[in-house]
Structure 1
Amino acid sequence: MHREDFQSLDPKFAQSLVDIVASELKKNVNITDDRGVILASFSKERVGQVHEAAAQRLTSGNIQEFSVSAEDEIRMRGVRRGVNVPIIFADRCVGVIGVTGDPETAAPYARLAARFVEAALESNANREKLMIALKEKRELQTIFVNKIISIQEEERKKISRELHDETSQSLTSIIVGLRVLAEVVTSKAEREQIMQMRDLVARTLDAVHHLAVELRPLLLDDLGLIVAAQKYVDHYCQQYPIAVDIDFVNLSREQRFLPEIEITMYRILQEALTNIAKHAQASHVQVKLRRQRQRLCLTVSDNGIGFNPDFTSKSGTRLGIFGMKERVELFDGIFAIKSLPGAGTEVAAEIPLANKKNKKRIW
């Protein structure tokens, strides 16, 4: 119910107000719309009838309190003896509320009832306004987060390709040059120095290659999520003393998804495995990536020391978890963490594949 777009009283809302007012006042109460049709009444059989006295007042523009006498009750349709007070909301009359009984004694009750209805309408409109503002804020936040991730991924992709295409090639050329130089020199000491330099450059090349993969694996763009995930797990097992089993269900190596979905799932896998290596003290990890109907689901579970998810969320630590959650929620997906101290951890993410939002995403 928007103040500026207000058309008429909602019948259900009006009936709930009538029930409340009638119960409090112990009186028969009714509410009409702005044309004099009874929207709500303590006597339910009156709903839908035209309150002739209210209709005459409302159509004439004479918007003010009026009473109905015993003679009016006999002479007019749909009226009962009592007092009727206009309901003013957003600077216009949206209807009339009537309290039956002797006009002199009913008048204070009718005025009180009108003020109550007006206050309820005001409260309802303010609540609706706050809900709209909150929705707009969330939409803006989603756009903002989406844009940040878009910029981050583009920068990662750019730097990764520069490291792969330029820095790696330059380092490779240096290694080749040092090998040639080592074969030319005659001094054994100089040759050993050159070979040490070559080994250092080779280690630097490996580090650059690892950094490029961490930033944005070329396999992800070229061959897709399945191949990139398997390659990442293989490299992870070489780097850390942790056994990782990865299982693909209802998926093939050639299967592709929207680029933004693939990079989101890859980042969650990457973040989850990184957290395990840093914090979990685990010896075994189970990764499952599956397509289930129109959803892509990822679970990463370990046999590590676990933690208290409630504590980390309340204390504001582990921003990586917050980042994973935000990425999934951008797709109207589901993100969850199950963990207990001493009982391991499971990270689960589900993203719907058929979603209008996914088709509009820019990154």
Structure 2
Amino acid sequence: MAGRRLPPSPVTKIMELDPRFAQSLVDIVAAELNKNVNITDNHGVIIASFSKERVSHIHEAAARMLISGPIREFSVTAEQEMQLKGVRQGFNVPIMTGAGCVGVIGVSGAPDTAAPYARLAAKFVEAALESNARQEKLVRALKEKEELQSILLNKMISVQEEERKKISRELHDETSQALTSIIVGLRVLSEHVHSESEREKILAMRDLAVKTLEDVHHLAVQLRPALLDDLGLVAAAQKYVENYSRQYSITVDLNVVNLSRQRFLPEIEITLYRILQEALTNIAKHAKATQVRVLLKKQRDKLVLTIKDNGIGFDDDILNGVGSDTCLGIHGMHERIALLSGEFYIDSAPGKGTVITVEIPLDRRKKTESGLGQAH
């Protein structure tokens, strides 16, 4: 019959034993010693036992020692087994950790005979707990390191996007206006000279300024398209694909499903835009493709971007390297997607083209100190 659960000792709270972990230790110790073994928690409640029916019973002798007396080893005689609830004849040893006593382990049998086995069992359990605690500490440290790396990467991308936006605006508002003024001035000047050769020189300079203005405009769009901020991902993607096809003579079929002018979180929009930009740039540089299919769709609670080309492809093993621009670009995509708890897949084979798939959830985001949305 199970005893009444006793109140905890009025001391500083310490680590509690996990019952499943304790039971696994009992099974190991009992098998090795060929003895009946049980473990109580730091209140004297049996949480693991070779005799499973004893689990959740109060070990009255352990409970009394833990609550009222000094932490110590103790034996249970045959007479005490008859008098106290939940106890058996044997020897019991406190389980000690750096925080204090976390429970008691007992080995049944004649106390003098059981004592060395109980002490050995306690040492084993304490070593297992210490090892488990070290492992948990390492796991926590690794998790904290990963979270810190994520925060730092997030901040870096945020600062980078803000700087891109600033430079893009300066190029568009200041540099472009200055070049436009020069172009107009050169045109006016060409109409006031009398020498044909001088006029041709001035007009040649004007044509060079026009070409420079076009390059500046293209650079500003590459750095940060105004459409992305003003009209959103779909409009920016459509414009980028249009300019890309014209620049590289590669046919790009953009298919948008379940989307129109819907807006999403700024960090999601800029991430998908950068993925599209990086993937198409890699295709132009390395794939030797003539056709690209881009699918952007909303699928339930996530956005899916798929980019498929008919290029030369590559061996997936190349992704393990870090020496090529392609690999660096792919790793950069993966890092951006990971910040949003997204998924990144790439499928390629020599001669069979490449398929990149990105999935970003809309209803859950990785919590970090600073969101990419600060770049907007």
Per the normalisation by structure 1, the TM-score is 0.94
Summarize deviations over 1:341-362 as a string: whole Å, max 9, x none.
Answer: 2211111111111125489724
Structure 1's unaligned 5+ residue stretches are: none
User: Counterparts in 2 of 1:230-269, with a 5 A limit?
Assistant: 230-252=238-260, 254-269=261-276
CA contact (8 A) 2:71 2:101 kept: yes
2:359 matches 1:341: no
Instruction: Pick the aligned partner of 2:295 from 281, 288, 297.
Output: 288
Matched residue of 2:191: which SS? helix
In structure 2, what is the equivalent of residue 155 of structure 1? 163
Aligned residues: 359
Tell me which moved more, 282-291 or 133-142: 133-142
Describe the superposition over 1:307-360 as per-residue Cα deviations: whole angstroms up to 9, x where unpaired: 123323344542111111111111111112111122111111111111254897
Q: Shift of residue 206 of structure 1?
A: 1.0
Q: Deviations over 1:115-148 (max 9, x none)?
A: 0111111111111111221222122111111111
Q: Which of these residues, 353, 357, 362, is aligned with residue 362 of structure 2? A: 353
Match for 1:42: what amino acid?
F
Post-superposition offset of 1:56: 2.3
Which one of 99, 104, 120 corresponds to residue 107 of structure 2? 99
Q: Distance in 2 between matches of 1:223 and 1:174?
A: 31
Q: Which stretch has the larger CA shift, 118-127 or 230-239?
A: 118-127
Q: C-alpha separation between the residues in 1 aligned to 2:319 and 2:47? A: 52
Which residue of structure 2 aligns with residue 203 of structure 1? 211
Say whether residues 1:307 and 2:307 are aligned partners.
no
Q: CA deviation at 1:102?
A: 2.5
Instruction: Call closer, same or farther: CA 1:5–1:292 in 2, change over 3 Å.
Output: farther
Residue ranges of structure 2 left out of the alignment (5+ in a row): 1-11
1:126-275 → structure 2 map (5 Å cutoff): 126-252=134-260, 254-275=261-282
Q: Contact 2:14–2:99 (CA<8 Å) still a contact in 1?
A: no
> Match for residue 122 of structure 1?
130
Counterparts of 1:226 and 1:344, CA distance in 2: 25
Residue-by-residue CA offset, 1:88-115 (whole Å, 9 max, x unaligned): 1124111110111222222221111100
Cα RMSD (Å) of the superposition? 1.8
Whole-Å Cα distance in 1 between the matches of residues 365 and 330 of structure 2? 26
CA distance in 2, matches of 1:170, 1:117: 77
Moved more, 279-288 or 9-18: 9-18
Is 1:331 the counterpart of 2:321? The answer is no
State how far apart, in whole Å, the 2-side matches of 1:227 and 1:57 are.
74
Q: How far apart are residue 277 of structure 1 and its match?
A: 0.4
Higher relative contact order (CA 8 A, sep 6+): 2
Amino acid in the other structure paired with 1:129: K
For 1:342 and 1:331, the matched residues in 2 are separated by 32
The farther-off stretch of 122-131 and 314-323 is: 314-323
Moved more, 209-218 or 180-189: 180-189
Q: Distance in 2 between matches of 1:6 and 1:42?
A: 25
2:14 to 6, 9, 14: 6
Shift of 1:59: 2.2
For 2:120 and 2:338, how far apart are their aligned partners in 1? Answer: 47
CA–CA separation in structure 1 for the residues paired with 2:144 and 2:63: 40
Query: Structure 2: how far apart are the matches of 1:62 and 1:219?
Result: 74
- Match among 16, 28, 34 for residue 20 of structure 1: 28
Q: What secondary structure does 1:354 align onto?
A: coil
> Cα distance, 1:35 vs. partner?
2.2
Kindly provide the amino acid, as one letter, of the partner of residue 141 in structure 1: Q
Match of 1:42 in 2: 50
Whichever residue aligns with residue 305 of structure 1, its letter is I
Deviation of 1:276 after TM superposition, in Å, equals 0.4
Partners of 1:281 and 1:5 lie apart in 2 by 66
What code does the residue aligned with 2:358 have? A
Q: List, as ranges, runs of 4+ consecutive aligned residues in structure 1 with deviation greater than 3 Å.
A: 4-7, 314-317, 356-360
- Structure 1 CA distance, aligned partners of 2:173 and 2:109? 90
Identity of aligned residues (%): 67
Whether 1:70 aligns to 2:70 is no
Please give the alpha-carbon distance, in whole angstroms, between the structure 1 residues aligned to 2:183 and 2:13.
Answer: 73
- Rounded Cα–Cα distance in structure 1 between residues aligned with 2:141 and 2:42: 29
Moved more, 201-210 or 184-193: 184-193
